[in-house]
Amino acid sequence: MDPIAFKIGNLTIHWYGIFMATGLGLGMWTATLRGTRIGLKADDISNLFFWIIISGLIGAKLLYVINHWDGKTPLTNLILDRSGIVFHGALIGTTIAIWIFTRKNKMPLWATFDTLAPSFSLGHAIGRIGCLMTGCCYGKFCSLPWAVQFPQGHPTHPHTVHPTQIYESILNFALYGMLAWLFRNRKFDGQVIATYVLSYAGLRFFMEFLRDDNRGRLWFDSLTSGQGLSILLFIGGGVLWWKLRERNLLKKSGEA
């Protein structure tokens, strides 16, 4: 795999950027289609995506720096590391941006989250292909028929390793399909985003067992930072599901 897709003069275009941009574009398009079905304005969704991109990148980079800074490595190196982003951080930054934007523009919070949730999985699935081309987020050594080998200079060369980027991409595509179906059949606002948080937390927790890249400091000397955050997300998703479901039941009983 070569991280560079092509060059135009002195401009170098990387696969990572191409797949990230594709994921964001398709995510916004599919979110707009879902949102307009439930009365959200296409312009509001497009404007929201601008802030999602900004806040997501800031959150992803900030969490990467927090996880990896040892007090010795220059912060500039961590900040400028092209592949140095953490999805959990992007999710946190995105959540804050959505909460602020929906309040400011008087959009329904949980319906907006439900609209966006499937697109989170779709964008993530496409973005992970960029990770494969870049060589980050790699797996542990294995000899399975579908194992991959990265070029000379990669930390795993010359061994074959689990293609964890593709594992997670496939699982996120499947999650996208499930969430898109659930959006059309949801019983209460917030059901889709709560399902996403629960599902992704479980997916990521177990995927961490197959990864072998540097993911920063351990929690309790045993859990990776990704697993620790996934546990917190799973608990939060469960509480969110329960609270929103109870609110919906109370609302229905009050209308009866």
pLDDT in tens, 118-160: 999 999 999 999 999 988 889 999 999 999 999 888 999 899 9
Of 52-56, 79-83, 168-172, 251-255, least confident by mean pLDDT is 79-83
What the block records as the tokens of 24 is 């964001």
User: Does an H or E element contain 7, and which?
Assistant: strand 4-8
- Give the per-residue pLDDT at 74: 67
Give the span between the Cα atoms of 201 and 198, in whole angstroms: 5
Instruction: Specify the amino acid at residue 210.
Output: L
Q: Which of 79-88, 190-199, 242-251 has the highest mean pLDDT?
A: 190-199
* Phi, psi angles (nearest 5°) of residue 126: -70, -40
Question: Is the entire prediction scored with pTM above 0.85?
Answer: yes
| pLDDT of residue 256 exceeding 60 | no
| pLDDT of residue 246 exceeding 60 | yes
87 versus 173: which is more confidently predicted? 173
| pLDDT of residue 102 exceeding 90 | yes
| pLDDT of residue 83 exceeding 60 | no
* Residue whose C-alpha is closest to residue 207's, from 154, 250, 162: 162
SS3 content of the chain, % helix, strand, coil (to 5): 65, 5, 25
